[in-house]
Amino acid sequence: MSRTRLAFLVLPCCLAGQAAGGGPPALAARDWPQWGGNPEHQGGSAASGQPPASLLADVVYDPFVAQEKAEANHELLVHYAVPLLEGSSVYMEFKSGSYVSCDPPGSGTPAPCGPDAWGTQTWNVKKLVWEKGALVEAWNFASDWKPEPAGGGLSNWEPVFHPALAGEFVYAPGYGGTVFQLSKVTGRVVARINPFGGDLAPEAFVAGGLASDRSGNVYYNAIRLDPSSPWTSDVLGAWLVKVAPDGSSSRVAFSTLLPEVPAASAPCQSSFVSGLPWPPSANAIPPSSPCGSQRPGINVIPAIATDGTVYTVSRAHHNGRYGYLVAVHPDLTPGWSASLRGILMDGCDVGVPPNGIPGGCRDGSAPGVDPATNDLPAGRVSDLASSSPVVLPDGAILYGALTTYNYSRGHLFKFSPEGRALATYDFGWDITPAVRTHDGTYSILVKDNHYEVGSYCGDPHSCPPEVPRYDVTSLDSDLSVEWTFTNTNPLSCERLPDGGIGCISDHANGFEWCVNQPAVDASGVTYATSEDGFLYAIGQGGVSVGKIFLDIALGAAYTPVSISSDGLIYVQNNGHLFVVGLPSRASPAPLPAKGTSRAVRSR
């Protein structure tokens, strides 16, 4: 991604029968109906993934990629949905409408343009089906959903539009904090669900994607922003919303779920701004400013445990250092909230170089503190990220938060079902981990990037960059490392007009993993995408079992992977949806001339 540059700015199978008790039909165990595959967001499939041998489909779902990259110095700063899979049907986000480029790109003029005008786009849900070896459109629904306005902590990263499947319906985010209930068969609108009543409110937003439980209920976060100053004025409201299969809805305010947090007007710590190395002195106190009210992280998608408990993530509107994992009962009554503050103790002289040397804190600083605050480090809920909770097989919960003092790697937090902090791992930036169950326990699959940035600041003298390394790591249930797989590919490649691949050698240390949730199949193979433009299949022990090039090496928004019931891998790159697997009579034919690498050249 090269989000590192921003670091210091802050399937053929059918529906099962009717569920017991006459409820909605249950999705087959091998389908992928939502973010993370299941309500717990575990990212695992009961199917065995096909080897990445051929590109079986290539469908453009974002026609504005060239313009979007031009606005962002050739990087793609857009969050995308996971392909939703049910049998041989695919439900995917597609963009249409128009994109208003700036002149010149990146200048912000003539306003509004670029990210300031991203509301001119239209977000669609499109159903695709396999016919004669090709993915073809069955229906298209154009939503009136709009993303939150650019600015604030978004830093021009376009928020996610993310539908979900539940029972007989597709649910899609809509305008004003509403949700559309669509027929899976026809795409017809069954209902527009407005949990706020009355006219649609342009200042209200579906924040993040939709999640569904096993009874067909849908949950999502919603916020209401000040229309004239959405990021500098306090949030006007924040809610967790529940939609029942009959279209009825209920909601609970975040203020009810988090009654004991600092008040909106209370002072919250920010960061030192001068006096490197930090902290400026052993007793230095950082500046503070009003916290703002609690509201969800912009791209967070709730997770749902088997007992119906819903988990979401909250933060102070003006300060992501005051973040919480929140547990909510199925009837939307409060469960508990767990602060991401005061858990970590791996800052100065512990997880960064020793005090008094480059990269370390000021000599004499207290061990373990965050050099930017001179206090115990906080896991930060960043609106740039799409990290969402994961409920583990033992009922514990994972959440990946941002921390910048550890070379912008973030931290992964594990909490008990009662909200007690159990363990941490020193990578968690923008990752919803996948889970592999085995041998009476489980393993956790995460990307594990070591970015080429300084330990806690952007000054190369005080914080010289780390040597980069880019891993996929398997952790055990205690968050200890089991194995790693390192990306060592030095080549930047792109698909040529004739279908071949042209490359230059310009990444001596490999490429970042650009996946925000990997997928794990029934055999324990992990599928993940890298910024080098390849999909990788990684076996147990960190052994490569295959890879395939998609379209282009790209500094990209992180994108998730899904696996169909017949083992096809659905993956994204450069605004294209690719389907990867083995060609056979039961599967689509491979695309012509896509598998051969040509014209490899060195810089």
- Residues 201-248: pLDDT tens digits? 899 999 999 999 999 999 999 999 999 999 999 999 999 999 999 999
Domains in the chain (CATH in brackets) are 3-581 (2.130.10.10)
Q: What is the mean pLDDT of residues 398-404?
A: 98
pLDDT at residue 200, rounded to an integer: 87
Q: Determine the distance from the C-alpha atom of residue 471 to the mean position of all C-alpha atoms in its chain, rounded to a whole number.
A: 18
DSSP element (H, E) containing 65: helix 65-71
Distance CA 327, CA 335 (A): 5
pLDDT at residue 23, rounded to an integer: 39
Whether 595 shows a pLDDT value over 60: the answer reads: no
The partner residues of 544 in beta bridges, in order of sequence, read 538
- b/e per residue 232-257 (b: at least 16 CB within 10 A): eebbbbbbbbbbebeeebebbebeeb
Tell me which residue of 255, 325, 337 sits closest to 297, measured CA to CA.
325
| Per-residue pLDDT tens digits for 531-544 | 999 999 999 999 99
pLDDT at residue 12, rounded to an integer: 29
What percentage of the chain has pLDDT greater than the value 90? 89
Tell me which residue of 330, 311, 324, 343 sits closest to 260, measured CA to CA.
324
Question: Does the global pTM surpass 0.75?
Answer: yes
- b/e per residue 300-309 (b: at least 16 CB within 10 A): bbbbbbeeeb
Tell me which residue of 279, 283, 282, 285 sits closest to 267, measured CA to CA.
285
pLDDT at residue 199, rounded to an integer: 86
| DSSP sequence for 330-395 | TTS-EEEEEESBS----IIIIISSPTTSTTSPPTTPPTT-BTTTTBS-B-B--TT-----EE-TTS
Distance CA 336, CA 323 (A): 13
Q: What is the mean pLDDT of residues 367-390?
A: 97
pLDDT at residue 598, rounded to an integer: 31
Q: What is the mean pLDDT of residues 150-164?
A: 95
* In contact, 83 and 93? CB cutoff 8 Å: no
Token representation of residue 129? 């089906």
Neighbours of 143 (CB within 10 A): 22
Neighbours of 586 (CB within 10 A): 8
Length, in residues, of the chain: 603
**CA torsion, points 65, 71, 72, 78, in degrees to nearest 10?**
-40
Whether 341 shows a pLDDT value over 50: the answer reads: yes
Whether 488 shows a pLDDT value over 80: the answer reads: yes
Q: How confident is the model at residue 3 (pLDDT cuts 50, 70, 90)?
A: very low
pLDDT at residue 9, rounded to an integer: 32
| Per-residue pLDDT tens digits for 424-477 | 999 999 999 999 999 999 999 999 999 999 999 999 999 999 999 999 999 999
DSSP element (H, E) containing 494: strand 491-495
| Per-residue pLDDT tens digits for 60-115 | 999 999 999 999 999 999 999 999 999 999 999 999 999 999 999 999 999 999 99
Whether 507 shows a pLDDT value over 50: the answer reads: yes
Handedness of CA 460, 461, 463, 464 (dihedral sign): positive
Distance CA 31, CA 184 (A): 14
Q: How many CA atoms lie within 13 A of 390 on its CB side?
A: 35
pLDDT at residue 591, rounded to an integer: 58
